[in-house]
Amino acid sequence: MEVTGRSFSIFSLNLTPSLPPTRRFCKTLLAKKKDIQNNNNNNDSQPQPSFLSLRVSNSNLARAAIGVFALGFIDAGYSGDWSRIGAITPQTEEFLRLAAFLVVPICLFFIFSLPRQPN
């Protein structure tokens, strides 16, 4: 370990202080906290509903994700756009078209087998 001036090196790794000398010893100022007790007493009696409260159950989110996955196979296999722009090869597009015959029924099974949960 070598100390020279305001920097030191450990195993030839030079480290310098990140703050200028005038700010290095300054104390951090904290903002004044608001009166939390009065706000909590008012909110406990009547909870305020949020403006855009949208509640969706986890099973509905899972159904949507599985449906998008199945639609991705259909789009990649049958649209022809992906091979036209060069994102996939025509051989891969043919493989995805065949895989869609297996993936889409499995996804439909999962969509309809998930339990229904209320919102």
Q: What is the pTM of this model?
A: 0.52
Give the pLDDT score at 44: 54
For residues 6 and 62, which has the higher predicted lDDT (pLDDT)? 62
Give the pLDDT score at 76: 86
Question: What is d(CA 55, CA 60) in angstroms, rounded to the nearest whole number?
Answer: 10
Q: Is the model's pLDDT at 13 over the cut of 60?
A: no
Q: 78 and 97 in contact (C-beta within 8 Å)?
A: yes
> pLDDT tens digit string along 34-56?
666 655 555 555 666 666 677 88
For residues 8 and 77, which has the higher predicted lDDT (pLDDT)? 77
Q: Is the model's pLDDT at 59 over the cut of 60?
A: yes
Q: Of 60, 47, 75, which is closest to residue 112 (Cα–Cα)? A: 60
**Residue 104 burial (CB < 10 Å; 0-12/13-18/19+)?**
middle
Runs of H (alpha helix) within 1-119: 36-45, 58-78, 81-84, 90-113
Average pLDDT score, the chain: 75
Give the pLDDT score at 64: 94
Q: 29 and 23 in contact (C-beta within 8 Å)?
A: no
